[in-house]
Amino acid sequence: MKEPAGLFQSGGKRPDDCTLIPCRGGRSLAWDVTVSSTDSTVAASYLIAASYTADAVADQAADRKCSKYTELSSSHEFQPVAVESHGPLSDITVSFLGELGRKITNRSGNPLCPVFLSDS
């Protein structure tokens, strides 16, 4: 699948996808997924952060995505989705999946939707 074109005027940066229908605050939601591999998680540059909390590497990856797409914030709501190959999700990803689960529950009436999103 090809990333959406035309979101940026320069730089060739493109998030993984975006909604066509406004989602948050009247703006479309754009997201970019990153998976930190096992090699990068135990790399020397991540070792100190990874020794403090299980999700530290995923949090760093999410922060990098937010910095990369700051230009997009004027037209879209940006959501990084960062996962570490050892399993942890970034805090912002956990929060997003919780919010998404609540919205799906409100629409569908199925109270298990958040559980389905959090099962791994």
pLDDT at 1: 52
The residue ranges of the chain whose pLDDT is under 70 are: 1-12, 38-46, 119-120
| Residue 66 and residue 13 in contact, taking contact as beta carbons nearer than 8 Å | no
pLDDT at 83: 92
pLDDT at 7: 65
Neighbours of 9 (CB within 10 A): 6
CA distances to 17, 21, 55, 96, 116 from 85, rounded to whole Å, are 22, 31, 11, 19, 20
pLDDT at 43: 66
Note whether residue 77 is domain-resident: yes
Q: How many domains are there within the chain?
A: 1
Q: Which two tokens stand for residue 110?
A: 């199925």
Note whether residue 84 is domain-resident: yes
Neighbours of 63 (CB within 10 A): 14
| Residue 13 and residue 68 in contact, taking contact as beta carbons nearer than 8 Å | yes
Q: Which two tokens stand for residue 46?
A: 């991540």
The domain in which residue 42 lies consists of: 21-118
Note whether residue 74 is domain-resident: yes
Closest CA to 19 of 71, 74, 60, 77: 77
